[in-house]
């Protein structure tokens, strides 16, 4: 999947920490978010870890029903869309307070949009690109907001109501340094930020004045008095923490589920869950920089893809529970083209393609070369989980004379090199999944090279044209037809070496928690979990 607008959220697994504190009672829920956030400022942050934290603290105008995917009221209780789909009116919830006690009003909604466009202050051009079609947001009463867009695009409403974090004007108007807003966060949500212990954990406490505690829809949700969010990238370490009671929730990969959840305690003090639902699916990939003089050649990229033995990787690391990704769309999505096939592992074909491009081992050192330059590529890797995948790729590539180097790098340095400086050859990342409707604009359109998430500098006129047509098409069947053409172009261009899609998802949890069921239709539903019994510390 791509997400509609926040598919660009970066989900790489990054840091490894030592967490020695053990939960003392059923008053604190401990979960692993894999990565330490790059910052907490909603106007600037783009990574998945930051979004995980913000999701408990700040809110949007509307939410989603986890069983139906229909919109549900949040900070807005009623809305109206004009016949031409260019104007949206929202009536806001009254008597909602920010975490510091100040009353929430329409001015905060207006400010949330205008603040996002303050590129000079936040240096967030990628965020601005997402909301570029918003013409104006005006508070027309204390609890009423009108939004006008430049042109009718099918995803406008979704973008406005579920992807922009509503933040307090009085707080972000402070004359503080930018770093201050990366460390502090105030919202209207069910939890407050108590403390960010750098390099270790983030502590959230329940907002006793949250408006949702009196709302029928939110009854039985957000039950934990306190939450501690940790970041442990190494799944072996985090699963051991789960077993020892240092975590209550841990997302897993197929390999973790199959190989690391054995022993007498599983099913008793700790539980593993395999779930299938209709939620959008994420994928990981090796992105190739189109500015690189070698990688800008499509035949080179295609040859490299033939050196990626995904069948072996699925068997060894994903216990045959995944499928090779054909492109950026989950195969079971209605947007996926049914006539596209995954690139197969074929070293002989890869070598033939490289030789056709003039690459050969001219000096007998085992590496292909051309015009005095060796065929060597470096993959920037921000975590550890995919190093073993890269290693298989490296070994197979070396057999045909291609050198693959793996360079593990700290997350913030990775972000700077890849998304800001674009100083890389290859990089491994994952795109998170948040929408059922695929919108390629943010990642694949050439307009997104400068101000979006197209950091590989990919350009294709057909992709641009059909994307521009599709985003204005409100008939889903016609939109699907256009976007299937987009997918075909992307697959043919080989901008990424796509890894896999998992049909199932996996997680582990402690025996302390009580849940209604393993999964709802569109997610696990952790927000509805509670402790089996409540004890005071």
Is 492 part of a structural domain of the chain? yes
Residues 297 and 332 in one domain: yes
Which residues, 6 or more positions from 370, have their beta carbon under 8 angstroms from its beta carbon? 357, 358, 359, 360
Tokens of 407: 């360079």
Q: Encoding tokens for residue 409?
A: 């790098």
Q: Are both 429 and 329 inside the same structural domain?
A: yes
CATH number of domain containing 262: 3.40.190.10
Residue 214 lies in a domain: yes
CA distance 382 to 359: 30
pLDDT attached to residue 176: 83
User: What distance in Å separates the CA atoms of residue 219 and residue 96, rounded to the nearest whole number?
Assistant: 17
Q: Same domain for 362 and 259?
A: no
Domain presence at residue 69: no
Question: 314 and 454 share a domain?
Answer: yes
Burial 412-446 (b: 16+ CB within 10 A, else e): eebbebbbeeeebbbbbbbbbbbbbbbbbbbbbbb
| Overall number of domains in the chain | 2
Domain boundaries, position 258:
16-35+190-276+506-537
Are 252 and 350 members of one domain?
A: no
Whether residue 340 is contained in a domain is answered as yes
| Segments of the chain scoring below 70 in pLDDT | 1-25, 119, 124-129, 434, 534-537
Token pair listed for 292: 């690189």
Q: What is the pLDDT of residue 6?
A: 36
Structural contact between residues 193 and 57, judged by C-beta atoms closer than 8 angstroms: yes
pLDDT tens digits, 499-535 = 999 888 899 999 999 999 999 999 999 999 999 975 4
**Residue carrying the six token digits 């054995």:** 262
8 A C-beta contact, residue 407 and residue 34: no
The CATH number for 364's domain is: 3.10.105.10
Residues 238 and 288 in one domain: no
Pairing of strands 226-230, 28-32: parallel
The answer to the question of residue 149 being in a domain is no
Is 169 part of a structural domain of the chain? no
Whether 388 and 295 map to the same domain: the answer is: yes
Helices 461-470 and 476-493 pack at an angle, to 10 degrees, of 160
| Domain identity same for 311 and 411 | yes
Tell whether 494 and 510 lie within a shared domain. Answer: no
Residues 207 and 311 grouped into a single domain: no
* pTM, to two decimals: 0.82
* Helical packing angle, 387-399 and 310-317, nearest 10°: 140
Whether residue 378 is contained in a domain is answered as yes
pLDDT of residue 358: 97
Residue with tokens 């700290």: 410
Looking at the fold, whether 366 and 490 belong to one and the same domain comes out as: yes
Same domain, 402 and 480: yes
Cα–Cα distance for residue pair 47/64, rounded to 1 Å: 21
- Is 293 inside a domain boundary? yes
């Amino acid at each position: 999947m791509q997400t509609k607008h926040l598919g660009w959220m970066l989900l790489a697994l990054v840091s490894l920490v030592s967490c020695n504190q053990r939960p003392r009672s059923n008053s604190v829920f401990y979960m692993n978010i894999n990565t330490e956030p790059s910052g907490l400022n909603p106007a600037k942050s783009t990574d998945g870890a930051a979004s995980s934290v913000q999701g408990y603290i700040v809110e949007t105008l509307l939410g989603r029903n986890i069983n139906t995917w229909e919109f549900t009221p949040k900070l807005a209780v009623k809305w109206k869309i004009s016949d031409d789909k260019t104007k949206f009116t929202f009536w806001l919830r009254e008597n909602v307070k920010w975490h510091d006690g100040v009353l929430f009003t329409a001015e905060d909604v207006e400010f949330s949009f205008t603040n996002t466009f303050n590129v000079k202050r936040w240096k967030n051009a990628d965020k601005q690109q997402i909301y570029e079609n918003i013409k104006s947001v005006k508070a027309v009463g204390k609890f009423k907001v009108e939004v006008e867009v430049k042109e009718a695009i099918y995803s406008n409403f979704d973008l406005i109501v579920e992807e922009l974090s509503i933040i307090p004007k009085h707080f972000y108007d402070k004359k503080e340094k930018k770093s201050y807003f990366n460390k502090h966060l105030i919202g209207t949500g069910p939890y407050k930020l108590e403390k960010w212990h750098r390099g270790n954990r983030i502590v959230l406490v329940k907002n006793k004045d949250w408006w949702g505690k009196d709302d029928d829809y939110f009854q039985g949700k957000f039950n934990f008095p306190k939450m501690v969010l940790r970041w442990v990238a190494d799944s072996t370490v985090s699963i051991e923490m789960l077993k020892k009671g240092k975590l209550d929730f841990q997302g897993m990969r197929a390999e973790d589920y199959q190989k690391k959840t054995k022993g007498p305690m599983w099913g008793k003090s700790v539980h593993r869950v395999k779930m299938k639902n209709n939620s959008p699916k994420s994928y990981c990939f090796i992105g190739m920089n189109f500015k690189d003089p070698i990688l800008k050649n499509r035949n080179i990229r295609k040859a490299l893809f033939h050196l990626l033995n995904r069948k072996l990787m699925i068997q060894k690391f994903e216990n045959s529970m995944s499928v090779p990704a054909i492109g950026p769309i989950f195969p079971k999505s209605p947007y996926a083209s049914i006539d596209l096939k995954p690139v197969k592992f074929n070293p002989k074909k890869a070598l033939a393609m490289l030789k056709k491009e003039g690459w050969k081992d001219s000096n007998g050192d085992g590496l292909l070369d051309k015009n005095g330059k060796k065929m060597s590529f470096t993959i920037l890797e921000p975590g550890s989980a995919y190093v073993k995948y890269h290693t298989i790729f490296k070994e197979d590539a070396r057999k045909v004379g291609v050198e693959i180097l793996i360079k593990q790098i700290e997350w913030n340095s990775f972000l700077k090199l890849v998304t800001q400086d674009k100083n890389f050859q290859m990089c491994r990342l994952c795109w998170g999944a948040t929408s059922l409707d695929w919108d390629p604009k943010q990642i694949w359109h050439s307009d997104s090279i400068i101000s979006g998430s197209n950091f590989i500098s990919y350009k294709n006129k057909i992709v641009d044209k059909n994307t521009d047509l599709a985003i204005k098409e409100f008939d889903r069947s016609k939109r699907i037809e256009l976007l299937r053409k987009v997918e075909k172009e992307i697959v043919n261009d080989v901008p990424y070496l796509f890894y896999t899609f998992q049909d199932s998802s996996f997680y582990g949890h402690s025996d302390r928690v009580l849940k209604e069921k393993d999964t709802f239709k569109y997610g696990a539903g952790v927000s509805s979990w509670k402790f089996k019994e409540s004890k005071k510390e």
